[in-house]
Structure 1
């Protein structure tokens, strides 16, 4: 399926959502197009999110200004505008399948908030990450300030958000924002595809249950009970025996 800002491709059980707008700018069309794209995943078992020119230049301020400007000073109207953006990012985070962000080039502002909602993040050596909203006189409000502390720690999240300064791929790996740095974009996309293929072969219910347990903001004991309840409902004797056979046990 092809839209003006995103393209959803498919290779077997792996889907790829590519940001196709110029420099990955996230304008009104992007936020409208993501939810129906996610609804079209069908039987996909893994989703890769990537950019075309580079990952994302962040919010397309020029295209978005006419939408936001009339709502300024009106909390309810402003919340309604931002709700469309939230629906796209929270919809991505809520997918029951693993989501891999493959980042090359710049990943700025809303783009960084977008990848923070993914499960796994890889990048190429040319990647740069920035959350510059404070320099624009605004507060990041698309989930990055809520998710980044859990990914990189509160201190490093504060450094990104309060200074607006970019970090390179090496720092992103050192901080834990990404788990792998590949030498080139081509190597990045190949690695993301190989990782997606590996995940697609794993039991989908186990992956979904693991995602739920990782994302649940519950006290320790309640989190344990949630994981136990999931296994009690979805684990099967046949599945367990097949897994043991696969390990040679």
Structure 2
């Protein structure tokens, strides 16, 4: 892959930005701390927000693939527990009162939530490519993505209940809309491992691949196909789907009508129609 680690002028320590090919419109954000099984530290959350924000604003980027280093047996082992302990200690360090300590912790949690939500807020589609274990905070990450794929040996676990905390970075809010309330409740309350085939059956992942290499190659192919389409249509589709998930049908219809009233008369539409009539591949303008 072609490395774009300095894409935003920043060198990342916990992740890497790259492209399958130098001119590809698909960018990979790869969790890159295999020595810690890609556990999620405060620095990771800061860098994730910066990376996603940079790619969202980059006209070269049409699709993002969230993956992890293939040398790790985990997509992510979840929150880095020593960092979590440090965050709790810091929040309660010499506060004027318990209420002040709680307020500090609230701000810390909201900051982590905002980082995970950056994946959902990103105007470009985000595809998750999961191999190995996807635990705790890893599930928070992938449920904030738009589509999920995995290898046959992948497994998923909402593990927070086993370390005496309530999952608070988005899993309990997003997972029920993906797999249904009953499946989400059972996963969250037991913390058990859900294998790849079960995950596909409940709708957590769309496809299962036999190996890590096949996963990355296939997800790249899907991402490139998406990237070849009108970026205005793709970003509009994501925006409407995300908005409609949390609204009534009438509200969703009103939102998409308003969206298309502003976007429908685009050069992309003219180009798509002309390309179709002339049986050629369309060439769309960058965002």
> Do both share a fold (TM > 0.5)?
yes
Q: Is the 8 A contact 2:53 2:122 kept in 1?
A: no
For 2:113, the equivalent position in structure 1 comes to 86
Larger CA deviation: 46-55 vs 82-91: 82-91
Which stretch shifts more, 66-75 or 193-202?
66-75
> Greater Rg, structure 1 or structure 2?
2
Q: CA RMSD in A?
A: 1.6
Note closer, same or farther for the CA distance 1:193–1:35 as it changes in structure 2 (3 Å cut): same
Query: Unpaired runs of 5+ in structure 1?
Result: none
Identify if the C-alpha distance between structure 1 residues 200 and 149 changes in structure 2 by more than 3 Å, giving closer, same or farther. same
Paired residue for 1:28?
Answer: 42
TM-score of the superposition, structure 1-length normalised?
0.95
- Measured in 1, the distance between the counterparts of 2:268 and 2:90 equals 55
TM-superposed deviation, 1:173: 0.3
Q: Which residue of 2 aligns with 1:188?
A: 215
Partner-residue secondary structure (3-state), 2:247: coil
Cα deviation for residue 238 of structure 1 reads 4.9
Out of 264, 269, 274, which is 1:240 matched to?
Answer: 269
Contact 1:13-1:45 within 8 A present in 2 as well:
yes
1:70-109 → structure 2 map (5 Å cutoff): 70-71=90-91, 74-109=101-136
Q: How many residue pairs align between the two structures? A: 249
TM-score normalized by the length of structure 2: 0.82
Partner in structure 2 of residue 224 of structure 1: 253
1:36-51 mapped onto 2 (5 Å cutoff): 36-41=50-55, 42-43=58-59, 44-51=61-68
SS in 1 for 2:124: coil
Identify the match of residue 5 of structure 1 among 11, 14, 28.
14
| Equivalent position to 1:141, from 168, 178, 181 | 168
Gap runs ≥5 in structure 2: 6-10, 93-97, 280-287
